[in-house]
Structure 1
Amino acid sequence: MNGLLVGRGAELERLVRVLESAVAGTAGVALVGGDAGIGKTRLVTELAGRARELGFHVLAGQCAELGDTLPYLPLADALRGAEPAVREAVAAHPMLGQLLPGVETAPSSGLTQQRLFGSLLGLLADLQPVLFVIEDLHWADRSSRDLLVFLSRMVQTEQVCVVGTYRTDDLHRRHPLRPVLAELKRLPTVTSIDLGPLDTGEMTDYVATMGEIEAGELGEIVARADGNPFYAEELYAALAEGDSLPDGLASLLMSRVEVLSEPGQRVLRAAAVAGRRVEDDLLREVSGLPLDAFEEAVREIVSRGLLRVTGHGYTFRHALLQEAVYTDLLPGERTRLHAAFARLLTSPAELAHHHLAGHDLAGALAASVQAGRLAERLGAPAEAHNHYDQALSLWERVDDAASLAGASRVRLAFRSAVMAADSGDKHRAVTQLRALPQTSEVSERLAYYLIELDDQDRAIEAAERAVATATGQADLARALATHARTLTWSPRHTEGERLARRALDTARAAGARDAEVGALLTLTIHAEARGDLARAHDLLGVALTESTGDLALDLRARFHHARIHFEEGALHHAAAAADEGVQLAFESGLKWSTYGTDLRFLRFLIYYVSGDWDQAEAVAASFGARVGTSPEAVLSSFALFLEVGRGLPAVESRLEWLRPFWSDTLASYISRGLAAEHALWKGDPAAALDHVRAVLDDLVPGEPGTLRVAALGLWALADLGITEGADELAERARFAVTHGTAGHGSRLGPEGQAWALRAEAEWHRVHGRLDPDLWRAVVTAFDFGFVYETARARWRLAEALLATGDRDGAQAEWELARDTAGKLRAVPLENALAEFARRARFAGGQADGGLTAREIEVLRLVAEGLTNREIAQRLFIAQKTVSVHVSNILGKLDASTRTQAAAAARQRGLL
């Protein structure tokens, strides 16, 4: 490779900017595409050098032509070749350690892929700043593609830069990388770079750096290379060796191979069958040469620049060279070499590849099954599914297939279906399971996947069959537990509760802890729905006494434990339970699994409700705004509670990202409800009302979520000064109180009751009735610990008291609300309270010296000792704007220094 980078200055500068952005705390992804030989590797190598100069740890891994046979190959490659400091950090993340050679993979305990992804996030956070380069994405396995998408969305504020390279000329219309690239390139933090050919001047400069060359030859190389640096290097090497220049790159490459001695060609052909890389001892064995002859042949190949020495083996100088040599092999020669590698390899995935290419179907079947089992343990369910399916496709063509596989065809097909489901393709899993004999185990999994696909009727049918065909007590327990779950939200829910009790007894007798906990959780839901919270807590206490060995189930139990406490208003207990669950999720690398995510946003809500908004903001920082799926949109929506409450500029950007997901009911309920609140604070009640009506159109009448949305709609109508539609909104809220669908006749929790009272009070406000008793009841209802909503209700109570002439009572409530709003830094509420105080002409209402709410917010941070730059970062505003605010503050408080201003603020009680 030429040492000087020519003609790629602009592209390198764009990549360096991504690095610099990562240093500043905005993670980025860059995708570098171009034809083979165009200089992608040279460019990212230069970038890696710049990254090291900036203090980055550099991880670099390469995908291989074997494709989906080797899961997580680029990650394993990066960790294997990493610097010692990285290898030491990997020790703290055992899931990643399993990718390294010589480390035994642990038996799978469920959610292995999520644990692996979570572990990698933890490693990157430990090492930051980090540059992670993945080369040759066009060969990436499914799990590595999933990993790239995961990192692109989830690494946002960390000092991390991910760079991937791929061949554009390899991406046919149905190539699996195409949709991934299309998805990622829509993200604003993804930089897409397409490397085109070097122009004539750049190519001339590039060739001139290779060494002395006559003008005529230089012109011929530039003309023939067509802007491709690799082609130019090969042409130069051929001329330097006195060769003529054949037509076409493949012919040129082979002309350089043909000048090798016969042993050299023999070794290079064997290396081509191995792939882009090959270990020294393996290549020697397959070549069949004596040691001296082998080493002489390798020395010749390396001296001509066809192979490079890397670690304990060799790498082709370029993938195009390996492809040219492999393509030139005779069919029989290719088969024999593949068979030779298969006899020596120990990696099941590589064995399967070489056995299949060598037409050894029995060996391919056995190795495919082994590779599938290994992929399962590594957390690569898509690859495991593919390996198992490959074995199944060979089944009828191999004698004694069951012995070779170590399992029956039905058993292998069952595992294939489970792996399809674990990789996210539940429809494929259902199709495969339906094709199998309907044993209890098969029917139970079928029911489980169907309920997750919201196909309740077929799920119930499959679950009934699972119960009817169960032969052992453990199978019966699991079938009963799943059947009970399918009935929980159906008209047959009472039957489901009986089945759950039976499942519990059966599971305990059989020692099936997973089925026992599944039954306990279903019984918990039923107890909660009846309002028997003491029973629900007792059941959860039993479920939490010991691990099931199924991390997903253990996290689910902890989530419900925290959720029930939260919904009954026991915030202290909810926080403790959520913390326990979040800790388990982090320790097991499952913070991004379904229940790991649920636990984290529940913890966020507990912080938000209890008034610990700084902690809530810290948690919300991980709720990325750059969403691409409905689950991501739901998670992102929760951050709006805090951002709208504080009036942060991030609201508008987040709402823009969420807008395409408003067809998802939950994402719409949260984000459009908060968009309505945001519009109300901005003085646009008409827009707020549009959001409210859209959300209510999606909600089933009677859903408890109707209460909050209806209350916001009534607030909007009151601000508009119109009564049309108010009665309809009030009736929707009242119906939710009397016919709520939260459970089977379930009662509203404290928050639901408070919102019901709030909706009623807002309805009276629409009709011009400011009733202090109604608003006092709202304050009391929210005062179970919901700090912010209590303050907002005090604002309305103050208005109602003032309207009845009770100025002292109004000012007392206003002061309580203002104090809370100040502590929360709830700027929109502070502004509303300041405006109310101005209209009411409260005594002491100007104790703030005429400071605006934003100026008071800046003043608090000045008093903490923050610089203008730090204040700008905290409040997401320009540093120049902070400077203007500080100047205004000094003038209004008659202070000459920031210290004097802080002292004056303390004297006036502003802090």
Structure 2
Amino acid sequence: MLVRALEKAASGQAGVVLVSGDAGVGKTRLVGELAEVARSRGHTVLSGQCAELGEAMPYLPLADALRAAARAPETASSLLEALRARPVLGRLLPDGDVDPADQGGAELAQQQLFGAVLGLLGELSDTEPVLLVFEDLHWADRSTRDLLTFLSRVLQRERVCLVGTYRSDDLPRRHPMRSAIAELLRLPNVIGADLRPLRPTEMAAYLVTLQGGDGARPAADVLDRVIQRAEGNAFYAEELLAAACTGEELPAGLADLLLSRVERLSEIAQRVVRIAAVGGRRVDDDLVREVSGLEAEPYEQALREIVSHQLLVPDGGGYVFRHALLREAVHADLLPGERTRLHAAFAALLAEPGPGRPAHPAAELAYHSLASHDLDGAFTASVEAGRQAERLAAPAEAHEHFDQALSLWDVVTEPERRAGMDRPHLALRTAAAASYSGDARRAVTQLRRLRETLDPAADQTLYAEVSERFAHYLSDSDDDVQAAETARGIIEMLPADTPSPERARALTTYTRTVLFTERHEEIPALAEEAIAIARATGTADAEAGALVNLGLHTEIGGDLARAERLFSEARAAAGRVGDLTVALRAHYHVARAEYDRAELTAAARSADSGVRLAIDSGLAWSVYGIDLRFLQYLVHYTAGDWDRAEALSDSFPIRVGTTAEAQVSAYALFIEVARGSATARERLSWLRPFWGEDSLVAYIARGLAAELAFAEGDEHTALEHVSAVIRAMGPGDAGIIRVAATGLGVHAERALRARAAGDGQAEAAALRAAGDLAERARWAAANIASGPRLWLGFEGRAWLARAEAEWHRARGDDDPKLWRGVVEAFDYGFPYEEARSRLRLAGALLERGRREEAEDEWRLATAEAGRLDAVPLRKALRDLGHRARFGTAERAEAAGPLATLTSREREVLRLVADGDNNREIAAALFISPKTASVHVSNILAKLEVASRTQAAAIAHREGFG
């Protein structure tokens, strides 16, 4: 199963395998064998382990994997080069910290790191497939779990195989990893591999294999006894066999077995093992020696003895326990006082590192301090660990550490001095970390408790600051009513004649919460006040947010030019203060407004700029990062730059597991349906479960599925999709117009056939259905203010014109003037829909005997369909051309095997004939390798050949090399 997953990843189908089983069943051995297979095939292997540190060290397996790979000769060069391009990952390496001032904000840091990890894996996998292993996920910290979930969702076409292992017997019902695994296993690209205990025959074969290749076999009675006692656990069996070979009798329990091996050591060696167990699974050599108090020579002798018994294994500058269970058993066997004293010794060394000793994470110091009951030390280290977690883009861990510090506040001495802040501001920071980790409700709870302890009369500024954040998090939790009331209370409390950052932020939060309520008329005055105060007090974040709020309100009111100016101002203000969230939001609204006004060149520039910002910031998968990528694709699709749009859609997932992924995926259907790509059906099959859950997915996916079915002659399915989409949308939603136009086209064809066959009943039924759709389209256009938009743009008016023309065609009044109007309506810069409208115009002109005009329109549409490689449209035009006996159609059929190729496909074929591979073709034509692959597949299909060699032979035969 694992090798198949590795092979699929190598072919461009990323996958995740979660390997589970009881402790010692063989998970590590299994993935170790897989790693060897991967290395033998030239793959990059990145492998890291989690550790039992109370979820205190974020991204430990990732840091472990990067650190190991950075030292390995076969991976160091390419990895270090990739890390230099992604400083946020470099910070995970030893001594890799950076100035926090270089970061874009704590709330975005995790997304930046996630984006950097995805970019790193994508870059490495471009060269060779990647195997990424995260071991011992039952000890995974929250950020590692979030990273695992993120990668499992977004890895699609990268050549990456992600394997995680966890102990199924170490996941009690309330363990956070249990729910995470349950969610992951619902994803389409995640599979589970549960390692069952070995059967007796399998265990016997395994134990024989352990004896090596010299032919030696354990005695039958020894073998039987080990198999019986191991109960199918490979690790139990291995340890039992090792003990049995020495003639020692050991207790049945694993802990006793492990401890008995430790007890065979000398007293000094046992002491070192106990100290190492307190240090953790992987321990620093210098720290263990200093805690032991031994001189160098006896310490080295003890270590040599331990290593010879394979209890500790050398690992760089330290040692790692051969098995985590061994460390656990030794640590649990310590006397309470002994354990406390050893933890205290580690804490003392970590608190004051000596010369030449690398600094350790504050989380490690906090862990040892708390375990040694040093509450003052644990408090100080927890606050610093929270700060370090923020810099490492680990808000969940930051919240854990800050929250732990808050819980110790009342029992430590001089907490304010130790924390470097007062209790309310530590609580604010804790709430912010909770919100940034996606738990806005916990932030609300935290600040609700804090507000109850504050006296507005004692410190009005602090109360306002806490209350504004409280309102902000309430809004994030979809409680806009209480959020608005809270923000309004701050505004009324703070004097209007005394400008302050708190009042500016409160006004901004309030206008955000009432934007789509009956109080929206208050927005202009309050937003203007917020902007003025923000500028007077230098509160650029509040200024940028208020400008966006005012811009949205202005756009709803119809002043589009002013709205765009406000969005541009917001973008500039956010850029000055480094607020990437507002900056991306402003970039999106600037580009969207330009698109709505049919300024496609400007919209493309703005969308491209916004996407570059999102990618450079590691935020391509943030909310507005995704929205900007959608818009970027849509602009290029509309403008007819389909190769560019198709290259952009390479990052859109096909195998989707969430509504958000389904929305992203659905956009790629615009071109896939228009080009008749086989991928469209695969994508639609993955999107089907989400049709009933999300109206946007239903609108895009089922609307385009209707077009696909109609093009293939399946009118019944097309109308089913149309009806379902209309039911899922509000009556005033402008999207109804496009879907109704598609349905009207189907009913027009039915009415025409019925009329020609003299079937009055079928004609009447088609006209009734068409009339209903036409009325729905007209009502949506006339009552658009009742929907999510308050004005009908260029595209909406063009689709309304198409719906009216199809309605008249259904009634038998296929007036060329109507279709000429549709062509002109789409002439704002939508060449594909303009070409589809010309097809109808050509048919209408032919009906009236205006053959030359019809052929002119047909030629224009044919040229555009060929340029776009719009296969279904090209087929419909070819059918019309043959029926009308247009000369170009007759000549095209006899023009040879290359006649059906588009201009871009001819360029690709020329390079195929030269022997170029897909990557070389992509570089030569400035397209993605995936797009090049699609073009090659289309060429092979059109030429009806099975290989590139055969296609090249045809090209040379036709003089096209």
- TM exceeding 0.5: yes
CA contact (8 A) 1:517 1:548 kept: no
Which structure 1 segments of 5+ residues have no match?
Answer: 1-13, 907-911
Does the 8 Å contact 1:827/1:854 carry over to 2? no
Is contact 1:862-1:898 (8 Å) kept?
no
- In 2, the alpha carbon distance for the partners of 1:397 and 1:105 equals 33
In structure 2, distance between residues paired with 1:709 and 1:32:
46
Q: 1:435 to 1:628 in 2, by over 3 A?
A: farther
Q: By how many angstroms is 1:886 displaced?
A: 8.5
Answering whether residue 484 of structure 2 is matched by residue 489 of structure 1, we say no
Counterpart-to-counterpart distance in 2, 1:794 and 1:578: 30
Q: Which moved more, 1:356-365 or 1:848-857?
A: 848-857
Query: Letter of the aligned partner of 2:262 in structure 1?
Result: V
- The match for 1:99 is 92
Q: Kindly indicate whether the alpha-carbon contact (under 8 Å) linking 1:801 and 1:810 is maintained by their aligned counterparts in 2.
A: yes
Residues 101 and 584 of structure 1, relative CA distance in 2, 3 Å threshold: same
Q: 1:695 aligns with which of 722, 725, 731?
A: 725
Instruction: Summarize the Cα distance change of 1:598–1:846 in structure 2 as closer, same or farther, 3 Å threshold.
Output: same
What corresponds to 1:794 in structure 2?
Answer: 838
Counterpart AA for 2:293: G
- In structure 2, distance between residues paired with 1:775 and 1:858: 27
| 1:207 equivalent in structure 2 | 207
Give how far 1:74 is off. Answer: 0.7
Q: Is the 8 A contact 2:893 2:899 kept in 1?
A: no
Seen in structure 2, the aligned counterparts of structure 1 residues 536 and 324 have a Cα distance that, compared at 3 Å, is same
Residue 197 of structure 1 deviates from its aligned partner by 2.7
Write the letter of the residue equivalent to 1:840. Answer: A
Alignment of 1:134-149 (within 5 A): 134-149=134-149
Which segment is superposed worse, 762-771 or 640-649?
762-771
2: CA distance, partners of 1:126 / 1:518: 35
Alignment partners' CA distance in 2, 1:807 and 1:122:
56
Residue in 1 that maps onto 2:421: 407
1:757 deviates by 1.4
Contact 2:733 2:788 in 1 (8 A): no
**2:925 corresponding residue in structure 1:** none
- Please state how far the C-alpha of 1:225 moved relative to its aligned partner: 2.3
In structure 2, relative to structure 1, the CA distance for the partners of 1:25 and 1:317 (3 Å cut) is same
Say whether residues 1:619 and 2:619 are aligned partners: no
Question: Of 109, 119, 130, which residue of structure 1 is paired with 2:104?
Answer: 109
CA distance in 2, matches of 1:485, 1:750: 28
Aligned to 2:537: 510
How many angstroms apart in 2 are the aligned matches of 1:856 and 1:835?
14
8 Å CA contact 1:778–1:793 kept in 2: the answer is yes
**Pairwise CA distance, 1:307:** 0.8
- Provide the rounded CA distance (Å) in 2 between the counterparts of 1:571 and 1:19: 43
Question: CA 1:660 to 1:91, structure 2 compared with 1: closer, same or farther past 3 Å?
Answer: same
CA shift for structure 1 position 115: 0.5
Give runs of aligned pairs for residues 3-402 of structure 1, distance below 5 A. 14-82=1-69, 83=72, 84-85=76-77, 86-107=79-100, 108-110=103-105, 111-128=108-125, 129=128, 130-211=130-211, 212=216, 213-345=218-350, 346-402=360-416
- Whether contact under 8 Å (1:859, 1:886) holds in the other structure is no
The verdict on how the C-alpha distance between 1:359 and 1:652 changes in structure 2, with shifts beyond 3 A counting, is same
Alpha-carbon distance, 1:897 to partner: 4.0
Task: Give the aligned CA root-mean-square deviation in angstroms.
Answer: 2.9
The answer to whether the 8 A contact 1:872-1:879 is kept is: no
Give the equivalent residue in structure 2 for 1:8: none
Deviating more after overlay: 26-35 vs 641-650: 26-35
Task: For 1:214, give the aligned amino acid.
Answer: A
Query: What is the Cα deviation at residue 586 of structure 1?
Result: 1.5
Contact 2:396 2:433 survives alignment (8 Å): yes
TM-superposed deviation, 1:306: 0.9
The counterpart of 1:570, out of the listed 592, 599, 607, is 599
Match of 1:474 among 485, 501, 511: 501
In structure 2, what residue type is equivalent to 1:590? L
Give 1:609 deviation, angstroms.
Answer: 0.6
AA in 1 matched with 2:7: E
| C-alpha deviation, 1:64, in angstroms | 0.6
Does the C-alpha gap of structure 1 residues 790 and 879 become closer, same or farther in structure 2, counting only changes over 3 Å?
A: closer
CA displacement at 1:335 relative to structure 2: 1.7
Q: Which residue of 2 aligns with 1:884?
A: 944
Alignment partner, residue 437 of structure 2: 423
* Residue in structure 1 matched with residue 857 of structure 2 by the alignment: 813
Per-residue deviation, residues 666-711 of structure 1 (Å, max 9, x unmatched)? 2222222222222222222322222222222232222222221222
Of 501, 521, 546, which aligns to 2:528? 501
Change (3 A) 1:631 1:188: closer
Give, in angstroms, the shift of residue 369 of structure 1. 2.1
Q: Which amino acid aligns with 2:509?
A: T
Query: What is the rounded CA distance, in whole Å, between the counterparts of 2:245 and 2:399 in structure 1?
Result: 50
Quick one: distance in 2 between partners of 1:886 and 1:290?
73
| Structure 1 position 70, deviation (Å) | 1.0
Larger CA deviation: 624-633 vs 537-546: 537-546
Match 1:839 to one of 883, 890, 893: 883
Q: How does 1:689-838 map to 2 (within 5 A)?
A: 689-721=719-751, 722-741=766-785, 746-838=790-882
TM (norm. structure 2) is: 0.87
Judged with a 3 Å threshold, the aligned counterparts in structure 2 of structure 1 residues 317 and 641 are, in CA distance, closer, same or farther, namely: same
Deviations 1:554-589 (A, max 9, x none): 111111111111111111111111111111112111
Is the contact made by 2:451 and 2:467 (CA closer than 8 Å) also made in structure 1?
A: no
Partner of 2:450: 436
Question: Partner amino acid for 1:719?
Answer: E
Once the 2 structures are TM-superposed, how far is the Cα of residue 34 of structure 1 from its aligned partner? 1.9
Q: Deviations over 1:632-680 (max 9, x none)?
A: 2211111111111111112222222222323222222222222222222
Taking a change above 3 Å as real, the CA distance of residues 828 and 852 of structure 1, as seen in their structure-2 partners, is: farther
Cα contact 1:831–1:853 (8 A) shared by 2: no
Deviations 1:344-403 (A, max 9, x none): 224221222222222233332332222222112211111112222222333344454444
Give the direction of change, closer, same or farther, for the CA distance of 1:852–1:75 in structure 2 (3 Å limit): farther
Instruction: Decide whether the 8 Å contact of 1:348 with 1:370 is kept in 2.
Output: yes
Deviations 1:133-176 (A, max 9, x none): 11111111111111112112222222222111111221222322
User: Per-residue CA shift, 1:807-837, capped at 9, x if unaligned?
Assistant: 2212211221111111111111112222222
Contact 1:279/1:312 (8 A) holds in 2: yes
> For 1:884 and 1:400, how far apart are their aligned partners in 2?
81
2:731 is paired with a residue whose SS is: coil
Q: Which amino acid aligns with 1:473?
A: S
1:749–1:811 Cα change, 3 Å: same
CA distance in 1, matches of 2:526, 2:775: 37
Of stretches 528-537 and 635-644 in structure 1, the one that deviates more from structure 2 is 528-537
CA distance in 2, matches of 1:169, 1:424: 29
Q: Give the length in aligned residue pairs.
A: 886
Question: How far apart are residue 896 of structure 1 and its match?
Answer: 9.5
Structure 1 residue 470 displacement after superposition: 4.3
Length-normalised TM-score, structure 1: 0.92
Assess if the C-alpha contact under 8 Å between 1:31 and 1:164 holds in 2. yes
| Residue 31 (structure 1) shift | 1.9
Counterpart residue type for residue 567 of structure 1:
D
- Partner in structure 2 of residue 5 of structure 1: none
Taking a change above 3 Å as real, the CA distance of residues 453 and 695 of structure 1, as seen in their structure-2 partners, is farther
Given the alignment of the two structures, is residue 461 of structure 1 paired with residue 461 of structure 2, yes or no? no
Q: Which amino acid aligns with 2:533?
A: T
Q: 1:797 to 1:445 in 2, by over 3 A?
A: farther
Distance 1:283 1:587 in 2: 42
Give, in whole Å, the separation in 2 of the partners of 1:137 and 1:713: 51
User: For structure 1, which segment, 462-471 or 862-871, has the greater mean C-alpha deviation from structure 2 after superposition?
Assistant: 862-871
Q: Distance in 1 between matches of 2:430 and 2:747?
A: 56
Stretch moving more, 575-584 or 243-252? 243-252
Contact 1:444-1:478 at 8 Å conserved across structures: yes
